[in-house]
């Protein structure tokens, strides 16, 4: 199975989930999406992750991002695990978890890395745009929990840079200054970015974030 690369159309699939049958592309509609995998149900790190995502769902909703998780265990196991997540993490799981017992989706998205584990998925993350194309992939080992603040930060950057001729510098957060992309000529910057700009070097021009009032 070839790795999924940035800009590829996210492979479509139909699978059972804790919220019913999902056809992935239909389920996404015109939203952005995050598909993220978990090595197995009833595992400690995954329990904290899913609880965190439930608590962050309003932040993803504000960004028009739908969330779906995946584990290679079955629906009954998922529902039992959700009870544990709600109890231990003080939240209510409010997004679907795909049951991938036949590993069809895991293999489609290259989530099983045999040199790490021949049966369980790694912690894969796929951020998918409204155009159904893959915008970001991150792969963590099973031992390391994800940073969902970072995923929100990255989505802010992806959505900003999709619609404005800017890039975001190191450690950028929503509201910080942005880099004017090299394809914009310096003489054209004032008409495109009326808030002004600072030329640090001819190739490094900074401007206030353009989508903020």
Residues labelled as active-site residues: 46
Strand order of the sheet with strand 198-201? 166-167, 178-180, 204-207, 198-201
Rounded Cα distance, 182 and 204, in Å: 8
C-alpha of 34 from chain center = 4
Residue 163 to residue 208: CA distance in whole angstroms: 15
What are the CA-CA distances from residue 136 to residues 14, 54, 84, 91, 94 (Å)? Answer: 22, 21, 30, 27, 23
For the chain, counts of helices (H) and of strands (E): 6, 11
**Residue 115 per-residue DSSP state:** T
């Amino acid at each position: 199975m070839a790795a999924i690369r940035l800009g590829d159309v996210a492979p479509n699939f139909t699978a059972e989930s804790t919220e019913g049958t999902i056809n992935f592309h239909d389920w996404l509609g015109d939203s952005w999406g995050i598909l993220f995998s978990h090595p197995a149900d009833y595992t400690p790190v995954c329990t904290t992750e899913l609880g965190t995502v439930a608590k962050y769902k309003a932040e993803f909703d504000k960004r028009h991002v739908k969330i779906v998780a995946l584990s290679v265990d079955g629906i009954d196991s998922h529902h039992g695990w959700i009870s544990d997540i709600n109890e231990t993490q003080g939240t209510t799981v409010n997004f679907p978890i795909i049951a991938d017992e036949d590993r069809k989706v895991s293999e489609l998205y290259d989530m099983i890395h045999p040199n790490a584990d021949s049966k369980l998925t790694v912690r894969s993350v796929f951020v998918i745009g409204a155009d159904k194309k893959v915008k970001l992939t991150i792969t963590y080992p099973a031992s390391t929990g994800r940073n969902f603040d970072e995923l929100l930060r990255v989505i802010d950057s992806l959505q900003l840079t999709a619609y404005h001729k800017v890039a975001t510098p190191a450690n950028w957060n929503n509201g910080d200054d942005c880099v004017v992309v090299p394809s914009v000529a310096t003489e054209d910057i004032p008409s495109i970015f009326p808030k002004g700009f600072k030329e640090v070097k001819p190739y490094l021009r900074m401007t206030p974030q353009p989508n903020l009032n």
